[in-house]
Amino acid sequence: MSKEVKAYGAKDSKADLEPMSIKRRDILKDDVEIDITYCGVCHSDIHSVHNDWGNAVYPMIPGHEIIGRVVSVGNDVSNFKEGQLVGVGCMVDSCQTCASCKDDLEQFCENGTTMTYGSKDKHMDDHTHGGYTTSIVVNKEFVLRIPENLEEKAVAPLLCAGITTFSPLNNWNVKKGDKVGVIGLGGLGHMGVKFADAMGAHVVMITTSPDKAEDAERLGADEVLISKDEDAMKEHAGSFDFILNTIPVGHKMDPYINLLKRDATMVLVGAVEPLDPFNGGGLIMGRKRIAGSLIGGIKETQEMLDFCGEHNIVSDVEMIDMKDINNAFERVMDSDVKYRFVIDMASLKN
Amino acid sequence: MSKEVKAYGAKDSKADLEPMSIKRRDILKDDVEIDITYCGVCHSDIHSVHNDWGNAVYPMIPGHEIIGRVVSVGNDVSNFKEGQLVGVGCMVDSCQTCASCKDDLEQFCENGTTMTYGSKDKHMDDHTHGGYTTSIVVNKEFVLRIPENLEEKAVAPLLCAGITTFSPLNNWNVKKGDKVGVIGLGGLGHMGVKFADAMGAHVVMITTSPDKAEDAERLGADEVLISKDEDAMKEHAGSFDFILNTIPVGHKMDPYINLLKRDATMVLVGAVEPLDPFNGGGLIMGRKRIAGSLIGGIKETQEMLDFCGEHNIVSDVEMIDMKDINNAFERVMDSDVKYRFVIDMASLKN
């Protein structure tokens, strides 16, 4: 009840990615079979391969920014049809019955979300495998519709980088006229700028690098605030309605907390590691808030994609062939990509 | 245009408090003259006297949990009358025109709140002086009505410890059936337990000290969670709708963040200093929130006092004479008070 498919994966945490073949399940009645055309390269793919979070299983096939075309559907699937452009993000299953799932927040499934790769597979004696492959079978509830007006290859990163930044802006009700800061101009930050701009906010890119100013403005930022410029930071103190913090590592938070208005929120989406000590008084004086946000549920991911269709938003991508993935990983670690690598999966098929 | 009154204050940050006399302004048209009967001893009085926050001015007369009776009122004051029981908290003036003041949040006045002691006095060439004295004159907008059914001396701490804990519970909509944690059983924590209990919450006192369990339950806690008991902490993981964190110093936050439900908030009211590094992932996984809260506005302080009148809530107090203040300071620093010292101001008058 399975098929051998070509993939690229890691044998262990020290190994480069290399060609391998994996077993892909045959479709069940609620499944959609997808021919993968593109897959984005997320920084978390690298953390996972390197087992930075201690929960890796091998062989590992990364990839959770998957775009493709429907090849076939199970008997109980009526909302997808052959040839349709679809996407798969970070999740491929959840219990669908717990309070979080009922609240359309499958990423917090209380019985354990099945992540796109590295989770126990519910249907095979294996763990799940991600999108660095040619074909995937996914339960219909976790398949997203992609607006056909968007450039196919540039849609891939929306499935993780897109929803990760859209969800907090949406959830905290960012609206026209709000002054919104986006900290960090990388894969996440560049999407945050595009979304906040499309929502009508006055967008300020907050970065350590003056050389990113021009690009930030091209992406939709109204202003650029260089966080090392103490005078500029003082000028903007207490003025932000919302800050989206995409910094992927531990960092000093006091300077950014100081930028928030009374009752305003800074949401962390990148730093899953220990943050530098910060002053409790910074939150107390002004009743400010720090919160976290993790990708988004399937319903909100579809909303995000529909929003992208309306506003013609895609990611800025650099295309690579599958065989160049190890070099791409190096470049992601060096922040040397504008702003997301996408694998052209035709390069694996041929 | 002023009167000499007896007081107790500090000459400098190293000095014990000692008897001194201060000038108290005569009443202006919007003022209320109050004969002080009781004043609570807040931990922040000690921080202020010791100049721990670097903004102290001397001679300093501390005290911002003031209870007394109206002696006289200015020509434009109609809502207070002679003999009425009234209170004054942490603030005695603000601009009344900025966005924060218009939102009834004078504690965040954008033109600078006039704190009860240590702020520039708007009407005299002096800084303001607090409640360790016999008489005070305060603008009517900053005078609170005290329900007459409450025990007068035990009301004093409501003016700071009360509003500091009531405001976050109120602002984050704690309601019947919510599971609410209160971390730390001191002056703030004991009020937090009483309020959360009166709001109908299932209250869990979270403390390092098993010997506080009995008292916590007497105050209204339904359960006591010993934070050093790792098994108990695991059992309560992900179960709290709201946590009120009254710890007054830097501390590890990860164990408490771990107690919160998805989308739940922990509010800091005590720690104005650097907090230990905590893991960003703790907020991201579960979309949790940390926020700060600072006392409360005058309108909300009156609501709190009215709530106390309805629910017959006062502070647990230990009475002292004015001359015993230095010993009381020592005991507060040793956490040796259940749960608030209140100065009987008759002891200074005679």
**Which CATH number fits the domain that encloses residue A242?**
3.40.50.720
Q: Note whether residue A251 is domain-resident.
A: yes
Closest by Cβ to B293, choosing from A265, A287, A293: A287
Closest by Cβ to B294, choosing from A171, A284, A291: A284
Nearest CA in chain B to A291: B289
Say how many domains are in chain B: 2
Q: Note whether residue A213 is domain-resident.
A: yes
Q: Note whether residue A184 is domain-resident.
A: yes
Is A199 in the same domain as A284?
A: yes
Tens of pLDDT, residues B33-68: 999 999 999 999 999 999 998 899 999 999 999 999
Is B168 in the same domain as B243?
A: yes
3 state SS of A274: strand
A-B contacts at Cβ under 8 angstroms: 119
How near does any CA of chain A get to the CA of B272, in Å?
A: 4
Tens of pLDDT, residues B82-94: 999 999 999 999 9
Domain boundary among B292, B320, B339: B292
Q: Note whether residue A298 is domain-resident.
A: no
Q: How long is chain A?
A: 350
| Domain of residue B308, CATH code | 3.90.180.10
Domain boundary among B254, B277, B292: B292
Is A83 in the same domain as A136?
A: yes
Is A149 in the same domain as A192?
A: no
B1 pLDDT more than 80: no
Contact B271 A250 (CB under 8 A): no
Is B114 in the same domain as B229?
A: no
Average pLDDT over residues A324-338: 95
Is B169 in the same domain as B146?
A: no
Is A82 in the same domain as A148?
A: yes
Average pLDDT over residues A218-223: 97
3 state SS of A180: strand
Spatial CB neighbours of A121, under 8 Å, sequence gap ≥ 6:
A25, A114, A127, A128
Residue B221 CA to residue B194 CA, distance in Å, equals: 8
A285 pLDDT more than 70: yes
Chain A contacts to B (CB-CB under 8 A): 100, 105, 108, 171, 250, 262, 265, 268-294
Q: Which residues of A touch B269 (CB under 8 A)?
A: 284
Is B36 in the same domain as B86?
A: yes
pLDDT band at residue A277 under the 50/70/90 scheme: confident
How near does any CA of chain A get to the CA of B26, in Å?
A: 32
Closest by Cβ to A281, choosing from B273, B283, B289: B273
Helices (H), A120-250: 152-155, 161-171, 187-198, 213-219, 230-235
Average pLDDT over residues B281-299: 96
- Record the tokens describing residue A2, joined without a space: 């399975």
Is A155 in the same domain as A22?
A: yes
pLDDT of residue B250: 86
Q: Which residues of A touch B164 (CB under 8 A)?
A: none
What residue numbers bound the domain in which B264 lies?
162-292
Q: What percentage of chain A reaches a pLDDT higher than 70?
A: 100
Closest by Cβ to B274, choosing from A108, A278, A292: A278
Contact A262 B288 (CB under 8 A): no
Q: Complex ipTM, two decimals?
A: 0.93
Is B222 in the same domain as B319?
A: no
Tens of pLDDT, residues B257-274: 999 999 999 999 998 888
Phi first, then psi: what are they for B207, rounded to 5°? Answer: -145, 155
CA–CA distance from B70 to each of A170, A298, B140, B222 (Å)?
A: 51, 62, 11, 40
Q: Note whether residue A305 is domain-resident.
A: no
Q: Which residues of B touch A172 (CB under 8 A)?
A: none
Is B172 in the same domain as B260?
A: yes
Q: Which residues of A touch B274 (CB under 8 A)?
A: 277-280
> Helix, strand, coil: what percent of chain B each, to 5?
30, 30, 40
| Of B255, B289, B282, nearest in space to A267 by CA | B289
Tens of pLDDT, residues B228-253: 999 999 999 999 999 999 998 888 99
**Half-sphere exposure at residue A246, Cβ-oriented, CA atoms within 13 angstroms:** 28
Contact B280 A286 (CB under 8 A): no
Contact B273 A250 (CB under 8 A): no
Measured on CA atoms in the order B55, B57, B63, B64, is the torsion positive or negative? negative
Is A259 in the same domain as A330?
A: no
